[in-house]
Structures are given as structure tokens and as C-alpha cells.
Structure 1
Amino acid sequence: MFTTRPTLQGTFGMASTTHWLASQSAMAVLEDGGNACDAAVAAGFVLHVVEPHLNGPAGEVPIILAPADGPVRVLCGQGPAPAGATVAHYSALGLDLVPGTGPLAAAVPGAFDAWMLLLRDHGTKSLAEVLRYAIGYAEHGHPAVERVGETVETVRELFEREWVSSAGIYLPGGRAVAPGELLRNRPLAATWRRLIAEVEAVSAGREAQIEAARSVWREGFIGEALADFAARPAMDTSGERHAGTLTGDDLAAFAATYEAPATCDWNGWTVAKAGGWSQGPVFLQQLALLPSELPAHGSPEYVHLLIEGCKLAMADREAWYGDAAEVPLGTLLGADYNAARRKLIGERASYELRPGSPDGRTPRLSKQARAVVAGEGGFDPMGTSGSGVGEPTVGRGAVSGGAPSGAASGDLPSDAGGAYPMPSDVVPADPVPGDSVPSDVAPEVGHNGATRGDTCHLDIVDRWGNLVSATPSGGWLQSNPVIPALGFPLGTRLQMAWLEEGLPNSLTPGRRPRTTLTPSLALRDGVPVMAFGTPGGDQQDQWQVHFFLAVALRPAVCGGLDLQGAIDAPNWHNDAFPGSFFPRGMRPGSVTVESRIGAETVDELRRRGHRVTVGGPWSEGRLCAVARDPETGVLSAAANPRGMQGYAVGR
């Protein structure tokens, strides 16, 4: 089978990330005797430097690891809402949604502590050894990818007028960096050099130095700078300047944690994901919804089935996932529940949001989500209809509408038949044949910085059998002003929580906002064999399901899993549910497909009522994957060709 690249195979080590410099840095660590966890930490910090528009040190990272000598675990690097981040506080400011940028959207940064725990508990290298690659690229520069400069241009006006500390790094000489031009971040390099000097002065021991670094982040010069800058008002997507709620006490109280993964068994495979505080179980629900007999892989019937199953899983995400209330995962993944839900999938596309009622409970949606579904607000979530990221298509995303007529706010109306219907006057018209989007749409932005960030991903496997999958994100260069003393900004993950009490994903002090970040690890007959994931926000657990099934349903090649073929396969996504990012809109009935999916499939989906947008041939997904054959010890890896940025390396 022809693929864009070979599936790499070897026996020593493999790394696949969303940027070639991170992949090669991970491989350098493996070559220097480090293991997969050492390599993952090094690659994670390099990604902060070379993909600053996609992640940063004050962002977050969920990690799934399968140590060679232990069980699969989730390492949670998602920080909670600060103590002062209450619904009442934001409502008193006149806000219906948490802003998409600025200090008010900052959760407690979680990524740094998670990386430190991974290094301390499962790595072998010192802090200085894993940070030296990131320091080198930050201090001496790295050739910038095209997207960095494009992203900076979308926020140029904001940087020049409001976020001047960001302009100092990302508009050197008054202009954005050109593709291939060296981009430096000397303040960030200085931060890591000072951190290393301070921890080495504390102890010569590896673990003691890592513990000292965690303390410096929380309460030392880094923690002090984070808390000080969070208290300074800055312009955000509301069009006003607000100070954040993050304090030194919040930083001091946080520690990354380990937990058992959520899992689903399917045809001899077990997929492990982060729990219901993330969107990870959406992947598992989609597997649980599959019938015993599937249509031919890639056929129109197959694509329709997966789109409709995804809609049901995402509806449950809206009603049941979050960290502010118990998530009934046992029932949501149960056979009886999914057998009943499977019957809702018909021959026609659904334009309804249909959360289930696990254990007889009444589902609740936020007023914002219900208003969007009722047609009072909406937007093109990925900027692919020509309106631009965050541009309203039906009203505004930041709306204050209530429940449909006759329903109590937040509760499922008794006559809705389990659905939240779209009114007939806002159901999209039949699409024009040939509707299309460019393959790589650049974000648009307003004067207040309303532009979307994205995410990174990395997967590592070593010769000892350790597997790591991580999805770093947040703390983008366009999320908050750069902190001059540190060289990086705060994150904006609180925008994913609702400003309404009593919901699983309500903004709640000490609780994690529901994240879209969702790395994956798959076991075969109980043995870890594959780590994979992708950037993409709400699309992550759509593209990953399609990739996984392509691996599981198609024949192996060269004696191993066809990772590259599965990554290269035509992909698609839908936005028929409330989005996780400001302004939290949706596009009922929408499906965006790569043109390579074929005219026959597009025509059949449209015949079934899907509102199909045809994207470029290589426009959907940014997957990475590594694998290990437990019988032979052969390792493999592959990376996404889309975007010309992700690469796998290994030997």
C-alpha cells in the first residue's frame, strides 16, 4: 500500500511528535541512554520553544504511560480553577462566558509539575540533561515554521497596543518572524538556566533537584512572577481589561497526580484514556456504540455510522463530563446503555443534541449550550466557512438565552424524546455541491485577540518497553501577555468551564475545567502495544477513533501495525455539538471531510442529510503514533504528513 512515508521500524527506540526538532531531541535522549520518559520530558520542553503558538510552560498536559514494569497510569497535568475563580466573581463582571484570552481564563498551570513527576518517578536523567535541548533552541534560535509568524500576525495589533511584553519576543524589529528565520526566546532560556542553577545549589542528587524545581515553580522566583502577572489587568476577548484570580496560594497548593485510566474493551483491544474530567471517554463511548458487524471500512455507511455515534457521545460529554460532579462512566460505557443508545442511529443525519439518561438521571446542559442549540448563538468553530475563527454565524456565542419553551432551565424537556432539537428556521439549507474549504485556513482575529490556539502531541517507545503518550497545550503565545521575567504567558483553560452553577463542568474553585486534551494508549490482549494522539481540540477524539479503527480493521504490513497507512487515510470531523472554546458555538448537521474521501461518499452523506463541507485533500488530523510488538520487540512509529511539520524518528 502506498503511504506518504514509511512506517518506521527498529528495536532501539522510536519518537513521534508534532515537530521534527522535538522528535529528534527525544531521540537524542534515547541515544544518550535515557528511557522513553526522559525523552518525553525533553521533547515536551522543546515543543514549548518550537511550537509557542500551540503550547507553553504554563499550560497543561495529560500523560498516559505504560511502564515496562508497571500498570498503565494517567498522569494529570491539568491544573484546577483558582480559589477565587467562582461563577459569582465572573458574573459580577458582567460575563456570560469565561473569556477566551487574558488572565481571567488562567487555570493553575499544571504542565510543569506533571513533567517533573514523570522525570522523577520514571526517568533516569537530571533536570539539566533534559532541559538542555529546549535551552539551546530558545537561546540560539530555531528555524520558525510558517504557522508561528502567521499566528503572530493575527494578534499584531493586540501585541503592539496592549500586550507589549509579547511584542518584545514575537515581533522583533516590529515584524513577525518569516518561515525558516531564526526565532529566539532568550528570557525563557534564562529562566531555565536560573532554575537549574538554583536546584543544583540545593543538592547534587537527581530526585532532590527535581523536587527543588517543583518548589521553585510553586513558590520561588517562577511562582512569584506567575502570581504577580496574573494580578495585572490585561485586555481579553470581552473587549475589556481584567485581572486574573490566580494567586501564590493556588500555585503552592497544586501538585500533579496519578490515577487509573478509563478503559474500554473492543475486539481484543483495550483503549486507555484519561477520565471524565477530560473528553477522553468520548473515544471509549464511540467504541462502545459500534455494532458487532461494521460496514466496510471507509465506505459511506461506515463514515455515517461513526459521525452519528460521535454525536451521541459528544452529547453525553456536554451533559455528564466534568470535574465538578460525579461522572457516571460505568453506566456510560456499559453494554445495556450503549445498546439502547445505538438504536438512535438512523439512516439520516441527526440535527439534534441527544444526551442520554444514565441510571435514569435527568441530563442537564448549560444555558449557553441550550441557547446555541436553540439557534440563539453559534459560530464556525474552526474558521472554515469563510467567517473566520470566532466569527458569529447565528447571533453571538456569548449569549444569555434560557431553555426551550416549556422546559426548566438546564433540564431535558419531557416531550423532547431525549433530544434537544434545532428549530426549523435555523436548520442549514441543502449545501451547494462543491462547497469547500482551503486545506489550511489561517486564523482571523479581532482587536481584542480573539484567536484560537491549538495543541501538540508526542509518543515515545524505548527498547525496554516503556510507552508514553502526552498532549501538551495551553499557554500559547496568543493566550496571555508574555511574563517578561520568564519568557512565557499564562494559559486560558478556564474558558472550557461554564459560568452556571450545578453542572458537571461548572467553573468551581479547586476543580479542573473539562479539557479537550486526550492522549491514548492501546493494549492488545492486555499488553500495551500502541501510543497515539493528535492536536485538534474537539476533533481529537474523532480523528483518533478513525485512526484506531483503521489500524484495528485493516491488515498489518511488514509484520507490524500499519501506523502510517492509518494516519494517511482520509479523515473527517463534525461540529454538531457545543464547542469547548470561546465562544462555545456549534454547527448542527455539519461534517467536514478531506476531498480524498471521494465524491461517492460525499454525495451519499449529503443524501442522508449531512451538511458536508469538503476540505483540502490533507486537512484533517495531526496524528502521531508509536507501537511495540511484545512478541518480537520490534518497535514502529509514524507521523502525520499534514502541515509538513510532524515527524517520526527511530532505529
Structure 2
Amino acid sequence: MAEFTARPELCGTFGAVASTHWIASAVGMRLLEMGGNAFDAAAAAGFTLQIVEPHLNGPGGDAPILAARARDPEPTVICGQGPSPRAATIDAFAARGLDMIPGTGLLAACVPGAFGAWMVLLRDFGTMRLRDILEPAIHYARAGHPLLAGASAAIASVQTLFADEWVSSAALYLDGDRAPLPGTLFANPVLAQFYARLLDHAETVSTKREAQIEAALAYWYEGAVAEAIDAFVKGTEAMDTSGRRNGGLLGASDLASWRPPVERPLGIDHGEHRLYKCGAWSQGPALLQAVQMIKQLDIGTMPLGSPDYVHTVCETIKLAMADRDAWYGEAMPEGVLEILLSERYAAERSALVGKDASQELRPGSPGGMRPQIPSPQYTGDGMAPGGGGEPTMAGERTLPSGSRSHQRGDTCHVDVVDRWGNMVSATPSGGWLQSSPAIPGLGFALGTRMQMCWLAEDLPSSLTPGARPRTTLTPSLAYRGGRPYLAFGTPGGDQQEQWSLQLWLAHVVHGLPLQAAIETPAFHTEHMVASFWPRERRLGSLTVEGRFSEQTRDELQHRGHVLTVGGPWSEGRLSACAHDIDGTGAVLRAAANPRGMQGYAVAR
């Protein structure tokens, strides 16, 4: 008898969509039913996620995308991570008395990359009209959607800030002086009207599909949107996590000079699979490094949930993340990435996995170079707990309301596979409602991804004008037999690669079906420099779900892990889609996380 799972393993032959919200998954399937392909479906789902998960992403945020046509030899990376403004220098922050970039407000805003990334996906890979893609998002923004409990809590956590400081956000999100209740219909008519104007403009320019998409890109990055952002940033000083009101650095010229880079992915082999990730402007290579090390450690002999398994995976993650913190970024020295991903280097690193939990950050020295991990320091007054970054737990953290105490934002994810074998994995995030004040006339906030840059010189991830911050956003896509096989990913900031690694090992090494792999008891460590303000770290930490046995928990503590036991279903929000080809034909599979009670998969 098959092992019980909270959700069924969904299978079909026509199409499959999995995402962090049931409405987005349904919208993706709607596009497939209309005759669209996986790329059309992913774009429509992505725009819908901006509406139905406004506390987790928004139009002003970011969206790294991995896209693979059925016959492509490897996926294509569409980088929806915008760069820092040209005025964003270390000296500019020093002049403001800051040695850490605030986690909220306008100072941390980069060029909004999500819109451009979805447009490039639609233009280069899709088949449907712009109207087909935007209409579902416009509908839910105009007519409303049942507000998630997490979104209601996020608004409640910043309602005082909105009422006292971010009045443009108060006008959009507060019902009088209170947060709207969970389950009530919530609409954003300003955003609906904005997207309708954009669509009308594109259709006025041309009747041709690609020309409309180009017109929309120009409207956003060179036209009315860029002008509105420029005017708002220049004319506004917004309270942020520094405890002060600060203006921003982003301007119209920063948007006009940018379009999403289209790049080759990074990849490694693991048995019959080849696993692909985005470049070192993301934390994606950390998953590849971890898999390379795991290959040396005979993980297949360690039962899932056993102390040996949890300890080995946790210690491997610590090593990969230490390399991330020391080496990843736009200024990574030449040749370092090739060494970090090599099997020889992985063998050296995996030898450091001992019987006891490490209490140190241990980056490697690729090519004999000396690693340097930044030391977080903050001298600004009014520093509050919490911040602008992604939470480490699936359960939303609700912090006390007030202008100096902010609910953290998080991330979304969507995977799609169609009947032709095309596949997409995308991780949109940023620009959540609590990141910065809403822009009048647009109905959305700018992102705060620049908080991931360091205000110290000569680090791979030091703040550099016009460079991408090293983002946590990290979709995954794997090939098998030379064809796209598996798209997967999760929200969760620094935990994204950790939970993705656990899905990969449960499915590929231990042979569990996708749904069972997602539901397997999970864990994470915060034994790294946090990517989000205020950049804390918890050496030796290990958080496990309460479903782990008491014997496993006791043994992990005995090995030196600083253990926290979370709820039974508290770790991660994974989703996945697969194109499974065997001797009888192709079967499409989809799976989504029951944790959080909002992710959903659809397949037929």
C-alpha cells in the first residue's frame, strides 16, 4: 500500500501547474486549457501571484526564471533580478550615517525586475497575447480575492506604520484604521486600473503580439511607470528600519537602461539527472555545491529522518552557505565558481563533515584564495527586531505593530509543465506590501533587495552601482535523459536551497514520489550570515519539525546541534512539476506543500 500523504500525487497527460496559491495554479491551468504553453501559463500565474499574495511579492519585485523548451539542450535563465541604482554607492550610505542598508523603505530599492522577466518569457517562449496573460490579474485586483490570513496579519503588523507614515499604503490596505479580516474579499483597484492602462497602451501601439509586449516593456522601463517611480522616490522620505525617514536613490534613468539579462544556467550531474540553477548573483550554486558534497557522503544509506541523515545534510549546508557568504556575488573573482562546483573541491569540503555539529563558519579557499565573511555591524539608531527580509519558517511571523517593527515579507513560487514537455520554474518575490510605501497611481511598492549588499569594500557582494544584489531567489530545474524532467522550488529566504535539497534527496536518492518527498519532515539551519536586515546569524542552530522522533532529536542535540523544535508542519512551501517519460509514454506530475494551507497543484 502506498504511504499516506496529505495531498494526492497528481498525474495527467495534458498539463500540470503547482504554485504557492491555489488561484495562481488555477489561472495557470486556464491558460493551458486556452491552448497556451507552459511559458504562457507561468506568466499568467506569476502576475496573479502579485495580486493574491501581496504580502509575499508584488509588481515592484524580482523574478528569476528557468525556462526549458522540450528540445532545448539546457534551460534558459531569465534574470528578473534588477540592479542597484547608479547613485547607490557605499559613500552615499555613509553620508547618511548608515553602515547597513535598511530592510524597508526606499533606500534599498533596485530596478524592479519581475515585470521585465515575465515579459521576456512571454515574448521569447510564449504564444498568447498580452491581454490573455494580464486579464486574470486585473480581474482579481478589480473584483477582489479572499484575503489570506497571512496577508491580513502582515497588514495588521504594520497598520500603525501605514497610518502614521506610509499613508499611500494605508489608503490601499487599511479598512478605516484596521487591517481587513482574513477571508474577506480584498481588491486593489489602483493596481487594476494601472495594469488596464498598460494593456490599453500596448494594444494601441500595435495589433501584433510581440510588438505589444515590447510596448509594455517600454511603458514600464522608459515611460509612465518609470516616470511615476522617479517622481515618487525623489519626492518622498519614508520611515524605514533605521528608525529614520530616508529618501531613495532609484531614478528613471536606472530603469531606462535595463532589460532582463538572458543567460545560460549552471549545471552539475547527479546520477542520471543534470541539475540546473541560476548564476552566483543568486544563491543557486549553493544547491549545486551541496549536491556535489552529498555525492561523496553515501547519503542513500541513511534513512530519511534519521540522526545521521539530518546531521549530514545540515553540516553540508553549513559548508555550502559559508562559501556563498564568502564568494558569491557580481564581483566573484574569476575562476572561483568553476572550482566551487568541481567534484575535487567537493571532496575536500565533504571531508570536513564530522560526527559533531560545527559551531564555526568555514568557507573554503578555492585556488588558494583567502575567504572573507562580512561581520554584521549596525550603528544606526532605532534598530528594531524583525526587518524586511524573508522568514525562516513557513508560519508567518507577526511582529508587534508600529513604525519600527515590521512583518517580514517572503516569496512565492510557480512550476509548470505542458503536454509538449516544456517546463518553467520561477521564484517571484520582493515588492511586498510591507517593503516600502505604495506608489500613488500604480498601486504597488518597490522592493528592498539591495539590503542584501554589504557596505564594506572589496567583497564579492559589496554594494556596487548598477550591479545585481546577491539574491536568495533560486528556482530549480533538472533534466533526465537529455530532456526537461523536474521543476521545483520554494519560498523561504536563506532556507530555499535547504528545503530544495531535501526534496531533491528524498525524490532522486531515496526514490519517494514528489508529493511524499515534499511532505517528508523537514529542517533548516540558520548557521550562516542572514541575507536580510539586520543580517543576524545563529551558529550551530538547527530547527526541525515536531514530527521527527524524540530519539532523532535527542541524538542531534548530543552531537552539538542547538535544536529548536517547530510545529509538525512548519518547514517550507515547496512545489514541483515533473515530465516523466518511460516505455509507455509521458506522464505529467504535480505536487504542492500542505504547509501553510494555500499552495496547490493542478494536473489533468
What is the aligned counterpart of 1:335 among 323, 343, 347? 343
- Check the 8 A contact 2:416/2:424 in 1, yes or no: yes
In the alignment of these two chains, the number of paired residues is 587
1:491 to 443, 447, 452: 447
1:55 aligns with 2:57: yes
Query: Normalised by the size of structure 2, how large is the TM-score?
Result: 0.95
* Match of residue 399 from structure 1: none
8 A contact 1:332–1:338 mirrored in 2? yes
SS of alignment partner, residue 64 of structure 2? strand
CA distance in 2, matches of 1:55, 1:633: 34
Q: Structure 1 residue 297: deviation in Å?
A: 2.9
Is the 2:394–2:596 contact (alpha carbons within 8 Å) kept by the matching residues of 1? no
Counterpart selection for 2:330 from 323, 327, 338: 323
User: Over residues 337-358 of structure 1, what are the superposed CA-to-partner deviations in whole Å (9 max), with x where a residue is unaligned?
Assistant: 1111111111000110001000
Paired with 1:367 and 1:184, the residues of 2 have a C-alpha distance of 43
What residue in structure 2 maps to residue 609 of structure 1? Answer: 560
Partner of 1:518: 474
Unaligned runs of 5+ in 1: 378-386, 392-436, 557-561
Relative distance call for 1:438 and 1:197 in structure 2 (3 A) is closer
Q: Which residue of 1 aligns with 2:509?
A: 553
1:79 aligns with 2:82: yes
1:214 paired residue among 188, 204, 217: 217
Taking a change above 3 Å as real, the CA distance of residues 390 and 479 of structure 1, as seen in their structure-2 partners, is closer
Moved more, 325-334 or 138-147: 325-334
Q: Determine the C-alpha separation between the residues in 2 that align with 1:520 and 1:364.
A: 28
> In the alignment, does 2:309 pair up with 1:312?
no
Separation of aligned partners in 1, 2:397 and 2:549: 21
**Counterpart in the other structure of 2:257:** 253
Query: Counterpart amino acid of 1:650?
Result: A
Q: CA deviation at 1:367?
A: 3.6
Is this contact kept in 2: 1:282–1:541, CA < 8 A?
yes
Contact 1:100–1:450 (Cα < 8 Å) also in 2: no
1:242 aligns with 2:246: yes
Q: Note the C-alpha offset of 1:87.
A: 0.6
What's the counterpart of residue 96 of structure 1? 99
Task: Find the counterpart in structure 2 of residue 629 from structure 1.
Answer: 580
Going from structure 1 to structure 2, the CA distance change for 1:55 and 1:530 (only over 3 Å counts) comes to: same
8 Å Cα contact 1:527/1:630 also seen in 2: no
1:293 to 2:249 alignment: no
Indicate how the Cα distance of structure 1 residues 11 and 186 shifts in structure 2: closer, same or farther if over 3 A, else same: same
8 Å Cα contact 2:397-2:407 kept in structure 1: no
Cα 1:444–1:312 shift into 2, 3 Å: farther
Is 2:343 the partner of 1:346? no
1:363 is aligned to 2:383: no
Asked if 1:500 corresponds to 2:456, the answer is: yes
Counterpart AA for 2:330:
D
The normalised TM-score by structure 1 is 0.88
Deviation at 1:123, TM superposition (A): 0.5
In 2, the alpha carbon distance for the partners of 1:461 and 1:548 equals 18
CA distance in 2, matches of 1:495, 1:438: 22
Could you tell me how far apart the structure 2 residues matched to 1:277 and 1:438 are?
25
Q: Distance in 1 between matches of 2:402 and 2:353?
A: 39
The CA deviation at 1:441 is 4.1
Counterpart in 2 of 1:43? 45
Change (3 A) 1:196 1:623: same
* Change in 2 beyond 3 A, CA 1:83/1:532: same
Over aligned residue pairs, what C-alpha RMSD do you find?
1.7
TM-superposed CA distance for 1:451, in Å, is 3.3
Q: Deviations over 1:155-194 (max 9, x none)?
A: 0110000001101111022221111100010000000111
Conserved 8 A contact 1:449-1:478: no
Q: Which amino acid aligns with 1:350?
A: S
CA distance in 2, matches of 1:229, 1:320: 35
SS of aligned partner of 1:264:
strand
Alpha-carbon shift at residue 292 of structure 1 (Å): 4.8
Q: Distance in 2 between matches of 1:13 and 1:203?
A: 31
1:592/1:613 contact within 8 Å kept: yes
* CA deviation string 1:196-250 (max 9, x = no partner): 1111111100000000000000121111111111222111111111111111100
Q: Hey, what does 2:171 align to over in structure 1?
A: 168
1:448 paired residue number: 404
Residues in 1 aligned to 2:440 and 2:99: alpha-carbon distance in whole angstroms = 31
Deviates most, 236-245 or 615-624: 236-245
Q: Does 1:650 align with 2:603?
A: yes
Q: For structure 2, which runs of at least 5 residues remain unmatched after alignment?
A: none
The residue that corresponds to 1:590 in the other structure is 541
CA contact (8 A) 2:430 2:447 kept: yes
Q: Which residue of 1 aligns with 2:532?
A: 581
**Following the alignment from structure 2 to structure 1, what is the Cα–Cα distance between the partners of residues 210 and 395?**
46
Change (3 A) 1:245 1:357: same
Q: Deviations over 1:86-135 (max 9, x none)?
A: 01101111101000001100011111001000000111111111100000
Q: Tell me the distance in 1 between the aligned counterparts of 2:394 and 2:84.
A: 37
Quick one: percent identity of the two aligned structures?
Answer: 54
**Structure 2 letter corresponding to 1:305:** T
Q: Quick one: distance in 1 between partners of 2:65 and 2:170?
A: 32
Q: Identify the residue that residue 6 of structure 2 maps to in structure 1.
A: 4
